[in-house]
Structure 1
Amino acid sequence: MAASGTSSTAGDATVSHHDAFRELLNRQKDHLPPVLVDYLGRPQGGHLGHIDVDGNTVLHFLAIDGDESAFKELSEKGLITSEMLRKGNFRGNTALHEAARFGHLSVVKIMLEKEEGLALARNNLGETPLYVAVAAGKKDVYDFVKQKLVGKENDVTRRNDGSSLLHAAVVAEYYDLALEIVESFPHLVGAHDEKGITALSVQASKPLSFKSGSAYSFINLGSRSFIPIQLIRCLIYLCIIPPMDQRAIPTGDEENPPRKNCSFLPQPITELKWKLISGYRWILRRVSILIRGVDDIKQKHTLAMLLAKRLIAKETDWSHYTYGESSTEPWKNQGQTDHSVPLHPIERRPNLHFAAVTTASSPRNNRMRNPLIQAVENSIEELVEAILETFPDAAYTVDRNGKNILHIAVEQKDKLLYDYLKTKVRKDMMLRAIDNQGNTILHLATKQGTSPRILLGHLNQMAWDVCWFKRIWYDSSCHFQYHRNLDGKTARELFQENHVTLRENAEKALKDMNNGLMLVSTLIGTVNYATLFSIPGGYVDDNESKSFGRPKFFSTKKEDQLLVFLWYTGVALFSSVIALASMLVIQLSRFTDDDFFMTLPLKYVGALAALFVSAIFTVAACVETYLIIEINVNPYYLMWPLVGFLILLSIDVVYLTFDYMYFAIRCAFSFTGQEM
């Protein structure tokens, strides 16, 4: 007690920032050490000192931790003053900003009861606590602070660069919160920042927020490293039906995932039954987490599309995206165009961290970002369809390089979007258009690479590029093959120039892979050839027997099984020979651009199919051998897992090539344009 009293008495002289920081870090939550009480009660403003490199004070740390009891204790003792609450760190964030960022509603309530005007405080970026809460997705804090700001004249919905609450919610993909902001602040729908970016423009730059841009669309199979697992996820995604009236997306950790509207999930039954299946609980838990994770993704996609439709529906005219130009301070003059509330001067108070809205130093003439152009560039098909259904005239806009949306779809090699746009626009006019660099649609089809959503190797990428060039060749005008752009190059010359390195890499990759596969085919063929001379049971070696030299199991009850074994071995042998021959033909190919269109993929698939058949029948012959010699082991326990593994591996290896060949064959039979 004496020591405690001494510490208290000498607190003004001995308690430093270092001591306060150490006690703050080592304290137990909901317990305020006496040293901190002494430190905060020091005279001469010592309690306002920054105690870490970011400029945070004691109140900042208590707000970050959400220590409600500490705030109540300090408030009851009168140790929290308005000056302390207004104190900001080096980023200008007050303790209220930090409490709002981390979603500590109880602490937010205590601070606003003490200093209601703190809700108008801005950090160095001009962000209010309301903005910070939205950016962090803290809906309960947003609802409370919003009620406190009712009737305030200051515009708390924007920060210095003109970014609004709606921008913040969409950037962080909190679409449930964005929908509420649209209802509460409808004037923010068309609001844009100093770069001309609206909330719809932000959403058009997020392909993963939509099914068409995610790994859960069947068209994007191959965007993940192992296709069979991605296929399972797509099937789960297809089976889940999101509730129509549920906006919020609950969160949960791995051990306690949120429960969703998935009636087929394993639910807790009785304790006895759970004990009976205790060996499978880990698997069931992982499957449940997988399903719930896919369900969360589908919820996000549903909410993103709902928000996009709301934003598009509230647009009155698309011309400001097409022809409008930003003013000196574009987002401050939107009251005349998007029915926004006029901004008022920001009230200044002593030591309260309000930041005046910055003005542009020089006039800007930047056109507003066109969400349709962005959606086409990012291959967000749902968003493109929603915009064109409401604003059909938006299809005839061009980007800063003079490319229309059909040009961009061709450049992105998006076959679905390209086919869709041809049905929605005057394709003859748009197909014949030329951009500012003199490039025709055929020139734009020469771009190396494919849609970034698919992970392709050099072989498949080269094949897709050749096929896509032929596909656009069929649709383009005949004279485009002779047209030269401003660099003096025809489309074919530009294609060959862009694909020199890729063609060489594809040739090298295919030959290197062939070397390994040829070795495997040779080994399988050798093993099966040797097996024909060492069949189960051996041969009759009695010179006086009529069956001399024939298999011993002939004319016995195992004759049928032996014949099956010989058939399996023969098929495996001949399949390995076919695979080896196909690979030798590939090695001797010329590897021209046209070879990559159909010849090489067909030989490649044929060789892999033959090798797969050879491996399967070799495994089957092994199993048949176990059955013939009657070993006391069930060979099917080994066979079916091995066959399943080979099937999954084959799907992962050849799916992209099969998908390409289907598209290439369909194009070859569907289009009868000019010959290349």
Structure 2
Amino acid sequence: MAALATSSGATIVSHQDAFRTVLDRKNRSLQLQVQVVRDYLRQTGDDLAHVDVEGNTVLHFLAIDGDPVPFRELFKDGLPTIQMLKKGNFRGDTPLHQAASFGRLNVVKIIMERDPELALVRNNLGETPPYVAVAAGNKNVFDFVMQKSVVKDTITTRRNDGCTLLHAAVLGEYYSLALDIVESFPNLVEAHNEKGETALNLLACKPVSFKSGSAYSFINLGGRSFIPGQLIRCISYLLFIPPIDKRTIPIADAESQPLCRFILQQIASSLTDLKWKLISGYRWILRRVSILIRGVDDIKQKHTLAMLLAKRLIAKETDWSHYTYGESSTEPWKNQGQTDHSVPLHPIERRPNLHFAAVTTASSPRNNRMRNPLIQAVENSIEELVEAILETFPDAAYTVDRNGKNILHIAVEQKDKLLYDYLKTKVRKDMMLRAIDNQGNTILHLATKQGTSPRILLGHLNQMAWDVCWFKRIWYDSSCHFQYHRNLDGKTARELFQENHVTLRENAEKALKDMNNGLMLVSTLIGTVNYATLFSIPGGYVDDNESKSFGRPKFFSTKKEDQLLVFLWYTGVALFSSVIALASMLVIQLSRFTDDDFFMTLPLKYVGALAALFVSAIFTVAACVETYLIIEINVNPYYLMWPLVGFLILLSIDVVYLTFDYMYFAIRCAFSFTGQEM
């Protein structure tokens, strides 16, 4: 409906006209836009209408747009009023909330000049505009709001669920902003929400924010679908990118850091510079390398800042007992400082007898305690955070979770071999290895859990092999009598392992046999081709019955004899390698597929078969290249050979890396550890 003029000269502007004018700002003059909005605001008064399905008003869209001029012009006429600016959408967000969320600093400034107390208005979730700015990572908006004393005194106002600004920054993984909040409001470090979670609790649930939990750690090779590509990223992470934030490096190196940073930025930007366009064939590759460097740079800065934040949070903790011993109320953030410091059953006092362990079961009145960040860090395999906590609070290691598991138990359950080895050097391992949880499970029972670390993608075959190997690894460390110990369900560790892995063992057997069928066909084809090649060598054979060289290759006793011998060697090696691969696969096909077979026998046969097949493929390609050289075709065969060989190498690394990594660990365990026989 178009704007209408009344008999008194006043202009009537519909909701649609005002909405369209704001949305189509770029195609309308600023004067016309301001005039339409001014008439609309005067017409509606404080009762602004919602113009979209989310309940936003025209002022919300002006704030999202980010241009402060319309607000400045409207303020000259006393519009919009404070009540208009306080009107929220269906979520309770005011125009200032929207401007803070989208990072529109200029709009935030001009609205707060009108009334700074607008920054204290809360939406339906109890979020103020500063909270929304932090949750969106808009540091510039937060810094400006901090300058207003009327806001700074009340900026620690919590959300309805008890979350603070520090919670919001950690949840959004804005760690640089979180560090600033910790410095400005140290009292927020120990503040917890209604779930009993502090900022450190939230950080302990973000493994990808640390190197040990990301795909940029060599430990986690296999976490991405293409292992060689992940390896390149890990090398880039390790070699090329220094920290960017001065808080993350020693003070002595802080002055030299900007120069180093500038040089790296120049190198990255030069890859897409105009001069590189002269090399047209590599333009796409150079752009991808530049994107890779910038992406790795961002990830490394994030990991560095997360680790620095963790250290700051831990350093500001005054007492670790409130994580372990405290009992939370229904709304613990409303009763902070009233934690119960009664001491739970210490691991030293725990009895192997299951009947005595019932005092700490989940049905205990203490089942609403705050989560322990150390327990969470071990559950998520965040090694850096575990080390930082134990360095400051070594006594935190001797605590248990609600199920009675200590941190060594949890590391075993998570199948984290590095964290498990580290913890054994930091705790009284004899005591913790002998502990039993509330369900009567020993450390050996916990090692029977199916699956591996979620950071590595394993197929059925590798997963079954890792599970068997890990069970044997923990068997070496456990007490002899644990193999006979039964949990509350009346099962020994061996029985529990077999029960948990029935389906996985069947899937692993099927997967290996299905893969074997395809590989056997490939090895048969390669062997057949090379066998046929022996009877059709380059140049053929002497067919003159009267010749002394009858039946011998024609190129013998010529200058090409050496090349032909090389060709025959290549063909012979390819043929015999394919036969070895085929024989190895037949042996695998006839295996019994017991649990112990997956430990060493099947992986060795599998790797041997793949290695033989790889050799046969490489030597088949080499024989083909040698043929081109012998018959002197006017084509350089190496242009085809090297890319093909490189592709085969990358493909082989992607296929067998996880198996090689497993075999290295399994062989090292077999030779390094001694214990009772299984």
TM over 0.5, shorter chain:
yes
Structure 2: distance between partners of 1:428 and 1:98: 57
Hey, what does 2:254 align to over in structure 1? Answer: none
Shift of 1:246: 4.0
Hey, what does 1:81 align to over in structure 2? Answer: 81
Partner AA of 1:662 in structure 2: Y
Distance change >3 Å, CA 436–CA 271, structure 1 → 2: closer
Q: Residues 79-137 of structure 1: CA distance to partner in whole angstroms, max 9, x if unpaired?
A: 21111111111111111111000111110111111112111111111111111110000
**Contact 1:406/1:421 (8 A) holds in 2:** yes
Structure 2: distance between partners of 1:532 and 1:53: 77
Structure 1: distance between partners of 2:436 and 2:221: 33
Structure 2: distance between partners of 1:23 and 1:125: 31
Partner AA of 1:18 in structure 2: Q
Q: Give matches, 1:220-619, under 5 Å.
A: 220-243=220-243, 245-246=245-246, 262=264, 265-268=267-270, 273-274=275-276, 276-334=278-336, 366-619=368-621
Partner AA of 2:510 in structure 1: K
Structure 1: distance between partners of 2:272 and 2:501: 64
Structure 2: distance between partners of 1:269 and 1:530: 49
Structure 2: distance between partners of 1:290 and 1:483: 52
Hey, what does 2:355 align to over in structure 1? Answer: none
Shift of 1:152: 5.9
Distance change >3 Å, CA 616–CA 328, structure 1 → 2: closer
Identity of aligned residues (%): 84
Hey, what does 1:160 align to over in structure 2? Answer: 160
Shift of 1:15: 2.6
Q: Residues 21-42 of structure 1: CA distance to partner in whole angstroms, max 9, x if unpaired?
A: 2333223288352433321221
> 4+ residue runs of structure 1 moved beyond 6 angstroms?
8-13, 269-272
SS of residue paired to 2:267: coil
Structure 1: distance between partners of 2:143 and 2:107: 15
Structure 1: distance between partners of 2:237 and 2:154: 45
Q: Residues 388-419 of structure 1: CA distance to partner in whole angstroms, max 9, x if unpaired?
A: 01100000110000000000000000000000
Shift of 1:263: 6.0
Q: Give matches, 1:27-106, under 5 Å.
A: 27-28=25-26, 31=30, 33=33, 34-42=35-43, 44-45=45-46, 48-106=48-106
Shift of 1:279: 4.3
**Paired residues, what number?**
639
**Contact 1:572/1:614 (8 A) holds in 2:** yes
**Contact 1:171/1:202 (8 A) holds in 2:** yes
Shift of 1:240: 2.7
Shift of 1:280: 3.0
Q: Residues 637-674 of structure 1: CA distance to partner in whole angstroms, max 9, x if unpaired?
A: 00000000000000000000000000000011111100
**Contact 1:411/1:447 (8 A) holds in 2:** yes
Partner AA of 1:40 in structure 2: L
Distance change >3 Å, CA 152–CA 464, structure 1 → 2: closer
Shift of 1:242: 2.2
Structure 2: distance between partners of 1:625 and 1:75: 85
**Contact 1:208/1:214 (8 A) holds in 2:** yes
Hey, what does 1:122 align to over in structure 2? Answer: 122
Q: Residues 188-226 of structure 1: CA distance to partner in whole angstroms, max 9, x if unpaired?
A: 011111111000000000000000000000010000000
Partner AA of 2:200 in structure 1: L
Partner AA of 1:659 in structure 2: D
2:21 maps to 1:20:
no
**Contact 1:119/1:149 (8 A) holds in 2:** no
Structure 1: distance between partners of 2:623 and 2:8: 90
Shift of 1:285: 2.0
Return 110-119 or 642-651, whichever deviates more. Answer: 110-119
Structure 2: distance between partners of 1:324 and 1:269: 56
CA RMSD, aligned part only? 2.3
2:171 maps to 1:187:
no
Structure 2: any 5+ residue segments left out of the alignment?
Answer: 249-260, 341-364
Structure 2: distance between partners of 1:460 and 1:40: 68
Q: Residues 44-73 of structure 1: CA distance to partner in whole angstroms, max 9, x if unpaired?
A: 545x11111211111111111112121112
Structure 1: distance between partners of 2:649 and 2:442: 44
Hey, what does 2:256 align to over in structure 1? Answer: none
Structure 1: distance between partners of 2:642 and 2:458: 30
Structure 2: distance between partners of 1:272 and 1:403: 60
Partner AA of 1:170 in structure 2: V
Distance change >3 Å, CA 43–CA 651, structure 1 → 2: closer
Structure 1: distance between partners of 2:9 and 2:647: 71
Q: Residues 420-439 of structure 1: CA distance to partner in whole angstroms, max 9, x if unpaired?
A: 00000000100000000000
Distance change >3 Å, CA 9–CA 624, structure 1 → 2: farther
Structure 2: distance between partners of 1:632 and 1:218: 45
Question: Taking structure 1 as the reference length, what is the TM-score of the superposition?
Answer: 0.91
Structure 2: distance between partners of 1:191 and 1:53: 36
Structure 2: distance between partners of 1:270 and 1:444: 52
**Contact 1:266/1:284 (8 A) holds in 2:** no
Partner AA of 1:38 in structure 2: D
Distance change >3 Å, CA 237–CA 39, structure 1 → 2: same
Shift of 1:316: 1.3
Shift of 1:332: 2.6
Shift of 1:6: 5.6
**Contact 1:12/1:42 (8 A) holds in 2:** no
Q: Give matches, 1:653-664, under 5 Å.
A: 653-664=655-666
Shift of 1:466: 0.3
SS of residue paired to 1:112: helix
**Contact 1:128/1:156 (8 A) holds in 2:** no
**Contact 1:411/1:445 (8 A) holds in 2:** yes
Bigger relative contact order (CA 8 A; separation at least 6): 1
Hey, what does 1:346 align to over in structure 2? Answer: none
Shift of 1:16: 2.3
Hey, what does 1:347 align to over in structure 2? Answer: none
Question: Taking structure 2 as the reference length, what is the TM-score of the superposition?
Answer: 0.91
Structure 1: distance between partners of 2:476 and 2:150: 61
Hey, what does 2:253 align to over in structure 1? Answer: none
